[in-house]
């Protein structure tokens, strides 16, 4: 690191701090400004913030590890969530915006009634804000420590502390407005840095052809290294790679994306994605922001990481920690001033995620617990002040989790297991009047109990590291949880008619699942928002993202004919979606 590199990093820190100060007055006016930017964000600003938040300091490292261990197709471990993301775009984004809530857990008390709804809201607020949120913050901080340990001679804890304090400063001062605008700057900086590193990495191995040859030699064949699909065609039919057996791939593509809850990829939307939708200035902006997020997150952003990951296989063939190969490439290959830009990019990736997690977690603690159950009649200024205290509290808690992270990795697995099997109820609560608070509560409890038992018993029946074990766990948890919550739904009373009527008038979800309520309210049998086009748009959206993803990859790797053909197909799918939007708004 030369003085110019350090100057770039210092300039980035100064800029983010100034943005926080610039929005302090506006963000401190009330909770709406602090947590959802007064519902005035444009689609491109809200969408970019979603993308930046999911680009954490650990993301390039994780993708590098997947590529180095399994080839390009290793990314199906997260690419499978495209279907769920597109459901959020066309079936849930506009409904979230219509709900007019400040957090997704506040939804519980407009959809359900009584003490059970209040319990569900309070429990989910504390669960998401503290254990889940703090573990995510600790996980991301651990990755940043690894980056700084390899790249800098200064204490990594001191460097992370500086990042954290600046992030807390602007997140505490201005809330969502500062998060949105710093996310925009951080995303541009991050993408520039990773693209430059990918160029240097390709140059270091001797060009794209040499990269392809080196990766093929490492994995045994070019198909194993570069195929975008985790299967290949052989004489005996479809052949699956050992790390992704057909059972596992089938579960990924047909079950996991709609059945399992995971932060940032919740079936039916939710979390910080929903928070950005609430921040959008209109229903249309909320939908477009979510669509933009899906395209940028899955199709546009990954290839610089993937290319660098392939290069690390050639450059560091004996490296034990595959994920660390990304940091070694940054340290070894990038000269001044790009090295300073890259370090600032890592800081930006880290800070964008941390700022969101702090603001998002504080929104649960204040809006859904403190204001709802502790002090209901205070002024907006008081709640904003408490929100700032809650942000600092989460910051302190995440530090403790970071130090203990190695001892709670198993707890992380169990916490994630709580969401396995709950996806279907989170989807159907929007489109079926019969779903009740007891449906959600029983799904959460059953999923946790069954997942805990399954994780402790099922993997021992398989060879160590066999991916089929995880697939069987998923099928067992989803199957039992679904049977239980459906049984509880029909065994307990439905929500009161007046609550269902009020929810329907507020959100107007439409569809056959609400026909009984919509007819009683005088609306007749309404179609879902977007009608049949919602389904065709969902299919077109999935096709558009995957063909864009694979098309860009083929072009990057030199297969221009196939790549351009895929991009033409993507263009047709996007054209269909655009035409559907125009027709809908014309009506």
Q: Which residue has the tokens 């857990």?
A: 105
Determine the Cα angle at 473 with ends 468 and 476, to 5°: 125
Number of domains present in the structure of the chain: 1
How far apart CA 503 and CA 491 sit, in angstroms, is 22
Rounded to whole angstroms, the Cα distance separating 332 from 201 reads: 10
pTM: 0.90
Any alpha helices (H) in 114-270, and if so which ranges? Answer: 114-127, 133-151, 156-174, 176-205, 208-219, 222-226, 246-251, 257-259
Distances from the Cα of 133 to the Cαs of 5, 233, 265, 368, in angstroms? 33, 42, 15, 15
Question: Within its chain, how far is the Cα of 409 from the centroid?
Answer: 20
Q: How does DSSP assign 167-198, residue by residue?
A: HHHHHHHHTHHHHHHHHHHHHHHHHHHHHHHH
Distances, alpha carbon 167 to alpha carbons 159, 198, 234, 359, 469, in Å: 13, 27, 52, 11, 40
3-state secondary structure 70-113: HCHHHHHHHHCCHHHHHHHHHHHHHHHHHHCCCCCHHHHHHHCC
399 found inside a domain: yes
The tokens of 55 are what?
A: 């680009």
Phi and psi torsions of 434, nearest 5°:
-75, -20
Angle (CA) 162 321 310, round 5°: 100
Q: Kindly state whether residue 198 falls inside one of the protein's structural domains.
A: yes
What pLDDT, on a 0 to 100 scale, did the predictor assign at position 222? 86
Q: What is the DSSP string of 329-372?
A: HHHHHPPTTHHHHHHHHHHHHHHHHHHHHHHHHHHIIIIIIIII
The rounded distance, in Å, linking the Cα atoms of 120 and 445 is 12
Is 110 contained in some domain? yes
Residue 509 lies in a domain: no
Residue 163 structural domain: 1-39+55-77+103-249+301-406
- What phi and psi, each to the nearest 5 degrees, are found at residue 57? -60, -30
Burial 5-26 (b: 16+ CB within 10 A, else e): beebbeebbeebbebbebbbeb
Structure tokens at 44: 């491109």
Of 247, 240, 241, the C-alpha closest to 473 is 247
Quick check: is 232 in a domain? yes
CB within 8 A of 460, min separation 6: which ones? none
Distances from the Cα of 143 to the Cα of 56, 306, 326, 405, angstroms: 9, 18, 12, 11
Residue 401, in any domain of the structure = yes
End-to-end CA distance of the chain: 58
**Which among 100, 104, 165, 176 is positioned nearest to 384, based on CA atoms?**
176
List the pLDDT tens digit at each of the 587 positions of the chain.
Answer: 789 988 998 998 888 888 878 888 887 778 888 888 889 999 999 999 999 888 877 788 889 988 998 889 888 888 888 999 999 999 999 999 999 999 999 999 999 999 999 999 999 899 888 888 888 888 788 878 878 888 877 777 788 888 788 888 777 877 888 888 888 888 999 999 999 999 999 999 999 999 999 999 998 888 888 888 876 655 555 555 666 777 878 888 888 888 887 766 788 888 888 989 999 999 999 999 999 999 999 998 999 999 999 999 999 988 888 888 998 998 899 998 998 998 888 888 888 888 888 888 999 999 999 999 999 988 988 998 999 899 889 988 888 877 776 543 445 555 555 667 888 999 999 999 999 999 999 998 898 889 889 888 988 888 877 778 888 888 999 999 999 999 999 999 999 999 999 999 999 999 999 999 999 999 999 999 888 888 999 999 999 999 999 999 999 999 999 999 999 999 999 999 998 877 765 54
Q: Among candidates 307, 256, 301, 310, which has minimal Cα distance to 549?
A: 301
Residue 474 lies in a domain: no
Residue count of the chain: 587
Residues 78, 294: contact at Cβ < 8 Å? no
Positive or negative, the CA dihedral 352, 101, 96, 474 is positive
């Amino acid at each position: 690191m030369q003085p110019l590199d350090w100057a770039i990093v210092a300039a980035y820190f100064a800029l983010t701090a100034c943005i926080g100060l610039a929005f302090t007055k506006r963000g401190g006016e009330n909770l709406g400004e602090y947590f959802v930017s007064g519902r005035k964000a444009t689609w491109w600003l809200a969408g970019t913030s979603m993308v930046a938040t999911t680009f954490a300091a650990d993301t390039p490292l994780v993708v590098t590890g997947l590529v180095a261990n399994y080839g390009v197709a290793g990314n199906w471990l997260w690419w499978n969530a495209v279907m769920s993301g597109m459901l959020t775009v066309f079936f849930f984004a506009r409904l979230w915006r219509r709900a007019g809530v400040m957090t997704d857990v506040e939804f519980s008390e407009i959809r359900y009634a009584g003490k059970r709804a209040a319990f569900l809201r309070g429990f989910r607020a504390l669960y998401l804000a503290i254990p889940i949120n703090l573990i995510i913050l600790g996980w991301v901080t651990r990755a940043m420590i690894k980056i700084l340990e390899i790249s800098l001679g200064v204490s990594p804890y001191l460097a992370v502390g500086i990042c954290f304090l600046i992030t807390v400063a602007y997140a505490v001062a201005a809330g969502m407005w500062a998060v949105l605008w710093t996310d925009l700057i951080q995303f541009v900086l991050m993408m520039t840095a990773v693209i430059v590193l990918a160029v240097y990495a390709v140059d270091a191995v001797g060009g794209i052809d040499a990269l392809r040859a080196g990766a093929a030699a490492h994995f045994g064949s070019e198909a194993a290294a570069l195929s975008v699909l985790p299967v290949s065609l052989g004489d005996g039919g479809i052949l699956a790679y050992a790390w992704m057996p057909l059972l596992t791939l089938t579960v990924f593509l047909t079950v996991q994306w709609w059945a399992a809850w995971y932060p940032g990829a919740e079936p039916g939307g939710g979390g910080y994605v929903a928070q950005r939708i609430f921040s959008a200035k209109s229903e249309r902006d909320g939908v477009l922001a979510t669509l933009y997020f899906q395209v940028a997150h899955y199709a546009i952003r990954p290839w610089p990481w993937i290319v660098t990951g392939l290069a690390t296989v050639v450059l560091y063939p004996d490296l034990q920690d595959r994920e660390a190969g990304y940091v070694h490439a940054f340290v070894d290959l990038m000269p001044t001033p790009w090295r300073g830009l890259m370090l600032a990019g890592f800081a930006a990736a880290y800070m964008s995620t941390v700022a969101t997690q702090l603001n998002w977690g504080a929104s649960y603690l204040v809006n859904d617990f403190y204001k709802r159950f502790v002090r209901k009649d205070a002024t907006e200024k008081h709640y904003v002040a408490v929100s700032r205290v809650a942000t600092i509290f989460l910051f302190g808690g995440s530090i403790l989790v970071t130090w203990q992270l190695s001892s709670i990795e198993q707890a992380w697995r169990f916490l994630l297991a709580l969401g396995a099997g709950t996806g279907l109820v989170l989807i159907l609560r929007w489109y079926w009047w019969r779903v009740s608070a007891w449906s959600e509560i029983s799904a959460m409890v059953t999923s946790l109990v069954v997942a805990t038992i399954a994780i402790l018993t099922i993997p021992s029946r398989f060879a160590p590291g066999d991916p089929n074990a995880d697939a069987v766990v998923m099928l067992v948890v989803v199957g039992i949880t679904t049977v239980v919550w459906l049984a509880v739904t029909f065994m307990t009373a439905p929500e009161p008619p007046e609550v269902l009527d009020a929810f329907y008038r507020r959100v107007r979800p439409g569809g056959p699942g609400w026909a009984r309520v919509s007819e009683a309210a005088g609306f007749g049998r309404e179609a879902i928002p977007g009608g049949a086009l919602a389904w065709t748009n969902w299919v077109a959206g999935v096709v558009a993202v995957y063909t864009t993803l694979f098309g860009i990859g083929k072009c990057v790797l030199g297969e221009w004919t196939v790549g351009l053909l895929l991009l033409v197909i993507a263009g047709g799918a996007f054209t269909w979606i655009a035409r559907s939007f125009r027709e809908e708004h014309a009506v």
